[in-house]
């Protein structure tokens, strides 16, 4: 149990001793620290339950509180608010405990297995801003859930199936008809062939082929045929598709690496294909498939629906399977192969309907055990100044690589040339850029849209990733300079800024819990700023290295070390790298 939680439990006991029972205490940090650091607001509610005067109840409780040395400055305000502060011994003890083990103040969860689906990059197609948001949120939620004790698997769930790739193969056939992949008489080994095409070419072929398919019915038909050939594992076509996936995947991996995102599972939509037959059989046996104009659909509307809920398209009229079907097959696959307790989908909110239809169908067909939760964790868009999804200057879709470069250009300008060598600059500017992008992405609640403002994100001052990195590096360098002082224990915690830092640290488990519950990182992002700013205020108030009172100096250094550790812990959850200097 966290130290905070334990103290709250003890206060509950104190309330009980005073003669009253409460389920959960109404206790909160107060914003009038001069009156008391915390406020206990239960007397008013208890007055109703026990038919007593709230001020009398508050008096009885505060008498008991006063007997416990941990609580000081106990006083009653208004109709029965109890204010109190924490004793210096309590805070010292707390700080020394978390300095030894940060997890002494973190509540661990029961064992649970979660699969998080937060990749969704499409093969042969450049990643874009939407993929950045999935990756940022998903990776951070994964790290958070893990830190709290869950077992979590991240799945890249690559978009490697379906018609767009048929078009890419078709276009390659048109460009290089002489390739052995299209030669029926070729008997050699495809794996040894090298393709005259690289990832950059694929990223150009993809939009070109999709455009052609839009313009020409004949091309569309050819593309469909090629898609079917690939899906039927036809020699040559299937092998070329595999090659494309391989080339593209290598690049996709590099992009995810750049944004500090790592998947345990690199499965794709195509990996669920082996479950299609079984899936269809389940739906058939349960009589869930309805013929409709040559297609097969699943009715998912429910009486309580307030908005229209169209049926899920299971098999299209041309015989191909839909995006919904690949997700259904993937659910079946995950249930069979991994047996998760929860599956989280970190995908753009605009796909809400898709997931609602998919989850309802999965429930109807009982693809997962009843207790398994399926959850769409949606997010808003990153917009341009015009309030529309962020675009390139010429109005095209902004690639993720382009976006990173844009921010990097800005962070590069702010690297301190007097301490960073020329050859280190690029890699440091990259770390700072990623932190800038991620932090800006985490600050608003996940479903809120926000505006891309590169100068603001890259700023060293204010609520930004670079500010957090810069401050954390400064803590580290202070600790390095004071290494020989061997600071180990907090012996005093007297100044009001120090107390403010200690009280903020005490709140950490609440922040982690809130973030996990809301599946959003905004509370952690905000907390990092509050803690770092409180520390910087403290840093400005004292000359730590030259302080002559050795007890005080040691306490300050240990406090620095704790904030440094907490910052690193949280930055690590947010998947932001702290460079050595910047
Ligand atoms: N590939 C899809 C896209 O780019 C996202 C996939 C999201 N995950 C899922 N299980 N449907 O839109």
Of the candidates 64, 69, 61, 32, the residue with the CA atom closest to the CA atom of residue 44? 61
Judge if the beta carbon of residue 256 lies within 6 A of ligand 1.
Answer: no
Please tell me the predicted confidence (pLDDT) of residue 470. Answer: 98
Pocket test for ligand 1, best of 125, 347, 349 (most atoms within 8 A of CB): 347
Tell me: the pLDDT tens digits for 4-33? 899 999 999 999 999 999 999 999 999 888
Q: What are the structure tokens assigned to 120, written together?
A: 């969704």
Convert 121-158 to b/e letters by CB count within 10 Å (16 or more is b). bbbbbbbbbbbbbbbbbbbbbbbbbebbebebbbbbbb
CA-nearest residue for atom 12, ligand 1, is 120
Percentage of residues in the chain with pLDDT exceeding 70? 100
Judge if the beta carbon of residue 157 lies within 6 A of ligand 1.
Answer: yes
Judge if the beta carbon of residue 345 lies within 6 A of ligand 1.
Answer: yes
The shares of helix, strand and coil residues in the chain, as percent rounded to the nearest 5, are: 55, 10, 35
- Spacing, Cα 222 to ligand 1 middle (Å): 25
Max Cα-Cα span within the chain: 96
Domain boundaries, the chain: 3-86, 113-159+265-382, 163-256
Cα 380 to chain centroid distance, Å, stands at 13
Q: What is the C-alpha to C-alpha distance for residues 262 and 259, in angstroms, rounded to an integer?
A: 9
Please tell me the predicted confidence (pLDDT) of residue 394. Answer: 85
CA-nearest residue for atom 8, ligand 1, is 120
Rg of the chain, C-alpha, whole Å: 29
Residue 385 CA: distances (Å) to CA of 129, 380, 390, 435? 15, 15, 8, 21
Mean pLDDT of 379-385: 95
Mean pLDDT of 381-390: 92
- Spacing, Cα 377 to ligand 1 middle (Å): 12
Please tell me the predicted confidence (pLDDT) of residue 534. Answer: 98
Judge if the beta carbon of residue 118 lies within 6 A of ligand 1.
Answer: no
Q: Return the CATH number of the domain spanning residue range 3-86.
A: 3.30.1360.70
Please tell me the predicted confidence (pLDDT) of residue 393. Answer: 84
- Spacing, Cα 345 to ligand 1 middle (Å): 9
Tell me: the pLDDT tens digits for 440-453? 999 999 999 999 99
Q: What is the C-alpha to C-alpha distance for residues 81 and 409, in angstroms, rounded to an integer?
A: 53
Please tell me the predicted confidence (pLDDT) of residue 26. Answer: 95
Q: Scan for tokens 């690639």, then name that residue.
A: 399
Given a cut of 90, is residue 397 above it in pLDDT?
Answer: no
Best CATH choice for the domain 113-159+265-382 from the list 3.30.70.330, 3.40.50.620, 1.10.357.10, 3.60.150.10: 3.40.50.620
Judge if the beta carbon of residue 133 lies within 6 A of ligand 1.
Answer: no
- Spacing, Cα 44 to ligand 1 middle (Å): 50
Task: Count the neighbouring beta carbons within 10 Å of the beta carbon of residue 183.
Answer: 12
Q: What is the C-alpha to C-alpha distance for residues 227 and 165, in angstroms, rounded to an integer?
A: 7
**What does the H/E/C string look like for 61-123?**
HHHHHHHCCCEEEEEEECCCEEEEEECHHHHHHHHHHHHHCHHHHCCCCCCCEEEEECCCCEC
Which atom of ligand 1 is closest in space to residue 330's alpha carbon? 10
> Which of 30-39, 90-99, 258-267, 517-526 shows the lowest mean pLDDT across its residues?
30-39
Given a cut of 90, is residue 162 above it in pLDDT?
Answer: no
Strand order in the sheet with 38-40: 27-29, 38-40, 81-86, 71-77
> Residue 162 burial (CB < 10 Å; 0-12/13-18/19+)?
buried
Given a cut of 90, is residue 319 above it in pLDDT?
Answer: no
CB 576 within 8 A of CB 443: no
What's the distance, Cα to Cα, between the start and end of the chain in Å?
38
Mean pLDDT of 309-331: 92
Please tell me the predicted confidence (pLDDT) of residue 495. Answer: 92
Q: What is the C-alpha to C-alpha distance for residues 286 and 302, in angstroms, rounded to an integer?
A: 18
Q: What is the C-alpha to C-alpha distance for residues 165 and 209, in angstroms, rounded to an integer?
A: 9
- DSSP letter at 156? -
Mean pLDDT of 292-305: 96
Q: What are the structure tokens assigned to 342, written together?
A: 């929860």
Percentage of residues in the chain with pLDDT exceeding 90? 92
Of the candidates 539, 541, 514, the residue with the CA atom closest to the CA atom of residue 526? 514
Q: CA 508, 510, 513, 517 torsion: positive or negative?
A: negative
CB 414 within 8 A of CB 460: yes
Pocket test for ligand 1, best of 127, 159, 255, 263 (most atoms within 8 A of CB): 159
Mean pLDDT of 451-465: 96
Q: CA 139, 143, 148, 149 torsion: positive or negative?
A: positive
Mean pLDDT of 264-275: 95
Average per-residue pLDDT for the chain: 95
Please tell me the predicted confidence (pLDDT) of residue 1. Answer: 84
Tell me: the pLDDT tens digits for 110-150? 899 999 999 999 999 999 999 999 999 999 999 999 999 99
Q: What is the C-alpha to C-alpha distance for residues 447 and 377, in angstroms, rounded to an integer?
A: 9
Please tell me the predicted confidence (pLDDT) of residue 449. Answer: 97
Mean pLDDT of 154-162: 94
Q: What is the C-alpha to C-alpha distance for residues 13 and 296, in angstroms, rounded to an integer?
A: 61
Mean pLDDT of 510-533: 98
Given a cut of 90, is residue 281 above it in pLDDT?
Answer: yes
């Amino acid at each position: 149990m966290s130290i905070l939680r334990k103290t709250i439990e003890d206060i509950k006991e104190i309330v009980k001793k005073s003669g009253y029972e409460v389920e959960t205490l109404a206790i909160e940090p107060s914003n009038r620290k001069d009156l008391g650091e915390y406020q206990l607001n239960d007397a008013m509610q208890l007055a109703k339950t026990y038919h007593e005067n709230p001020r009398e109840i508050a008096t009885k409780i505060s008498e008991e509180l006063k007997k416990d040395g941990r609580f000081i400055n106990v006083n009653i305000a208004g109709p029965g608010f109890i204010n109190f502060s924490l004793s210096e011994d309590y805070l010292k003890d707390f700080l020394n405990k978390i300095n030894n083990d940060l997890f002494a103040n973190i509540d661990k969860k029961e064992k649970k297995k979660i699969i998080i689906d937060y990749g969704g990059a499409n093969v042969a197609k450049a990643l874009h801003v939407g993929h950045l948001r999935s990756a940022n949120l998903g990776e951070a939620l994964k790290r958070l859930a893990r830190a709290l004790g869950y077992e979590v698997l991240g799945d890249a769930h690559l978009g490697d199936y379906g018609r767009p790739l048929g078009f890419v193969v078709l276009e390659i056939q048109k460009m290089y008809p002489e390739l052995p992949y299209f030669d029926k008489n070729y008997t050699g080994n495809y794996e040894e062939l090298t393709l005259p095409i690289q990832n950059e070419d694929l990223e150009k072929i993809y939009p070109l082929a999709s455009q052609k398919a839009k313009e020409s019915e004949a091309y569309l038909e050819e593309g469909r045929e090629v898609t079917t050939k690939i899906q039927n594992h036809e020699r040559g076509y299937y092998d070329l598709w595999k090659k494309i996936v391989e080339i593209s995947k290598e690049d996709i991996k590099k992009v995810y690496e750049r944004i500090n995102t790592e998947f345990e599972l690199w499965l794709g939509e195509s990996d669920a294909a082996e479950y299609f037959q079984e899936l269809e059989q389940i739906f058939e046996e349960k009589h869930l498939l309805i013929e409709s104009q040559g297609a097969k659909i699943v009715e998912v509307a429910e009486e309580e629906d307030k908005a229209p809920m169209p049926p899920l398209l299971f098999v299209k009229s041309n015989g191909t399977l839909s995006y919904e079907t690949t997700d259904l097959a993937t659910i079946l696959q995950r249930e069979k192969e991994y047996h998760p307790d929860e599956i989280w989908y970190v995908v753009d909110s605009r796909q809400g309907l898709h997931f609602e239809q998919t989850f309802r169908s999965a429930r109807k067909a009982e693809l997962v055990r009843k207790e398994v939760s399926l959850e769409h964790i949606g997010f808003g868009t990153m917009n341009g100044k015009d309030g529309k999804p962020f675009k390139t200057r010429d109005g095209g879709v902004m690639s993720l690589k382009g976006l990173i470069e844009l921010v990097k250009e800005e962070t590069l300008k702010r690297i301190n040339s007097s301490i960073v060598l020329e050859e280190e600059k690029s890699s440091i500017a990259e770390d700072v850029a990623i932190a800038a992008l991620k932090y800006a992405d985490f600050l608003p609640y996940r479903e809120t849209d926000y505006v891309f403002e590169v100068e603001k994100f890259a700023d060293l001052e204010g609520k930004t990733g670079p500010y957090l990195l810069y401050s954390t590096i400064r803590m580290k360098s202070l600790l390095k300079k004071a290494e020989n002082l061997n600071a180990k224990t907090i012996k005093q915690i007297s100044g009001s800024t120090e107390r403010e830092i200690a009280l903020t640290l005490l709140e950490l488990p609440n922040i982690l819990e809130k973030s996990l519950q809301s599946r959003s990182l905004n509370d952690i992002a905000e907390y990092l700023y509050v803690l770092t700013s409180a520390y910087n205020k403290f840093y400005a108030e004292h000359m730590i290295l030259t302080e002559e009172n050795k007890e005080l100096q040691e306490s300050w250094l240990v406090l620095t070390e704790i904030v440094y550790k907490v910052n690193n812990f949280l930055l690590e959850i947010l998947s932001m790298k702290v460079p050595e200097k910047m």
